[in-house]
Structure 1
Amino acid sequence: MSSADLAQSIGRELPYLRRYARALTGSQTAGDNYAAATLEAILTDRSVIEGESDMRIGLFRTFHAIWQSSGQPVENSLGDSREARAQAHLRGLTPNSREALLLKTIEELRYDQIARVMQIEQPEAEELIQIALNEMGRAIRGKVMIIEDETIIAMDLKGIVQTMGHEVTGVARTHTAAVELGAAKRPDLILADIQLADGSSGIDAVNDLMGTLGDVPVIFITAFPERLLTGDRPEPAFLISKPYSEEQVRSAVSQAMFFASTEGMDA
């Protein structure tokens, strides 16, 4: 493969690697640093992706080699920040289980692909995913706000969140309603669509909420993921494409809760 073809092939998969890295670290900066290190490794030695016909798998496999060797998912300089506290909690989980779960639910890789990425056997990949679901499902309970203008989808999301043991603070269908709801009852997590009922933007609603609520984790669930995978502005750690599966929502909610402040939440 020529250098130009390699660059084009990697470019097509890079937004998804960045999405995965952000979800894994809970930080756009830390995630992008790992993605950049992955690209540097490939530029230094192209053999790290040779022998893999699927560029996404080769790219993710290279990332995982770096991730496993680093030993620290977020910079030590974080001190007592939200991400540092969350990472301390995450280190109590079974090693590699959360990585396998993210690859399955957020990136929608097959079990055999996950095994290739993580360089393990397929039965081990399947076991790790089940372990992660069990461990993270028991971990944290909190308050979730839903911003969604389609009633059926909003009720579906509400049902999934409630069966996980979380409290739903309410459902907002417009920008104005979202800001009012957030002010009335502070959520620990926000689930948001991009396009709202009155033509307003869910992204703008979330940005306004961040101005008053501070650093609250956000999961965007949208039919237009490309609008948030540009790298031109702050991006959410969790981004799920419509149509979504219940497994995807449960996984993202469980993991995003790790990056929420534990204040006012039951562990």
Structure 2
Amino acid sequence: MAQSDLSSEIGQALPYLRRYARALTGSQSTGDQYAAATLEAVLADRTVTVGASTPKVGLFQTFHGIWVTTGAPVTDEDAGPRKAAQRHLSRLTTNSREALLLHTIEEFTLKELGEIMNVGLEEAEILVNTARQEMADAMSGRVLIIEDEAIIAMDLESIVADLGHRVTGVARTRDGAVALGTKETPDLILSDIQLADNSSGVDAVNDLLRELGERPVIFITAFPERLLTGDKPEPAFLISKPYSEEQVRSAISQAMFFSSTETLRA
């Protein structure tokens, strides 16, 4: 493959590597540090992606090598609840959470997953299924949904309930979200970006975080790459529209482990 073509494909895959890294660490800054280290490794030696089925798989394969080498350390910013969450995550089956994210959120096939993690197809499937069970058994909580489309809101309610969580309410506007969120404090906020009255889900979330303090947030958007530029504060947890049930289930399970997250600012 020509260098220009490789650079283009790596560039297109980089926003999704950032998303994966942030979900893995629960932090924009820590996730971006890992993504930057991966990009530096690829730029320093283009041959690290040679042999991979696609440049994107090669990029994630390089990331995984760095991740496992560093032992997924707890950083200085991981204090209090976040540090406790990381300790809990460390008790999960090795590589299971990574496998679940790669398969459900990033939509790699089991074959590609095995290539990235250097495991066989059968082991890749076992890791994904193990993660699903371990994450489902971990905890339950209260979830506020901010979504203006009724059918999508109902679908999200069903997924949340099936995971064993309780929906505190569904808001269609910024003001409605603040009213519901301050009436009953949620453990997790699941929010669309564009709301019914043209208000912003980002603004609604930031209003709530100012009132309630830090808590995990998952944003839903049809254009995730626009929110993963690295130029400003961005979400640690992000899923794309149209989404699959598995993507939402995985994102909720991952986010529930973290009691704080960095979010977009207006």
Q: CA deviation at 1:53?
A: 4.1
1:138 aligns to what SS in structure 2?
A: helix
Q: Which residue of 2 aligns with 1:80?
A: 79
Distance in 1 between residues matched to 2:243 and 2:219, nearest whole Å: 11
Superposed counterparts of 1:94-243, under 5 Å: 94-243=93-242
Aligned residues: 260
Of the structure 1 ranges 19-28 and 40-49, higher mean CA displacement relative to structure 2 is found in: 40-49
> 1:228-254, CA deviations, whole angstroms, 9 ceiling, x for partnerless residues?
122222221221111211111111111
Is the contact made by 2:217 and 2:237 (CA closer than 8 Å) also made in structure 1?
Answer: yes
Which one is further off, 32-41 or 204-213?
Answer: 204-213
**How well do the aligned residues superpose, as a CA RMSD in angstroms?**
1.5
Distance 2:64 2:37 in 1: 11
- Find the aligned partners of 1:208 and 1:86 in 2 and give their Cα distance: 25
Q: Counterpart in 2 of 1:45?
A: 45
Report the AA paired with residue 237 of structure 2: F
Contact 1:191/1:219 (8 A) holds in 2: yes
The equivalences for 1:241-252 within 5 A come to 241-252=240-251
Residue type of the alignment partner of 2:159? I
**CA shift at 1:102, angstroms?**
0.2
User: Percent of pairs identical after alignment?
Assistant: 64
Structure 2 CA distance, aligned partners of 1:140 and 1:238?
A: 18
Contact 1:30–1:74 (Cα < 8 Å) also in 2 = no
Distance 1:65 1:183 in 2: 43
Q: In terms of mean alpha carbon deviation, does 243-252 or 79-88 score higher? A: 79-88
Q: Is the 8 A contact 1:160 1:246 kept in 2?
A: yes
Q: For 2:143 and 2:106, how far apart are their aligned partners in 1?
A: 23
Q: Secondary structure at the match of 1:260?
A: coil
Gaps of 5+ in 1: 262-267
Instruction: Name the counterpart of 2:66.
Output: 66
Partners of 1:232 and 1:78 lie apart in 2 by: 20
Distance (whole Å) between structure 2 residues aligned to residue 223 and residue 9 of structure 1 = 21
Residue 192 of structure 1 aligns to a residue in which SS?
strand
- Specify whether residues 37 and 130 from structure 1 end up closer, same or farther in structure 2 by C-alpha distance, changes over 3 A only: same
Distance 2:176 2:242 in 1: 24
CA distance in 1, matches of 2:213, 2:38: 31
Could you tell me which residue of structure 2 aligns to residue 36 of structure 1? 36
Residue in 2 that maps onto 1:19: 19
Rounded to whole Å, the distance in 2 between the matches of 1:13 and 1:23 is 16
User: Aligned letter for 1:223?
Assistant: A
Q: TM-score, normalised by structure 1?
A: 0.93
Query: 1:147 touches 1:178 (CA, 8 Å); kept in 2?
Result: yes
Contact between 2:220 and 2:238, CA under 8 Å: does it hold in 1? Answer: yes
Change (3 A) 1:227 1:203: farther
Could you tell me whether the CA contact under 8 Å between 2:23 and 2:236 is conserved in 1? yes
Change (3 A) 1:79 1:193: closer
Contact 2:16 2:225 in 1 (8 A): no
Residue 208 to residue 46, structure 1, CA distance change in 2 (3 Å): same
Is the CA contact (8 Å cut-off) linking 2:191 and 2:217 kept in structure 1? yes
Distance in 1 (alpha carbons) for counterparts of 2:116 and 2:123: 13
Give the 3 Å change call, closer, same or farther, for CA 53–125 of structure 1 in structure 2: closer
CA change 1:30–1:74 in 2 (3 A) is farther
Q: Is the 8 A contact 2:32 2:230 kept in 1?
A: no
Question: Quick check: 1:149–1:196 contact (8 Å CA) kept in 2?
Answer: yes
Q: Deviations over 1:248-267 (max 9, x none)?
A: 11111111100027xxxxxx
Gaps (5+ residues) in structure 2?
261-266
The residue type paired with residue 255 of structure 2 is: A
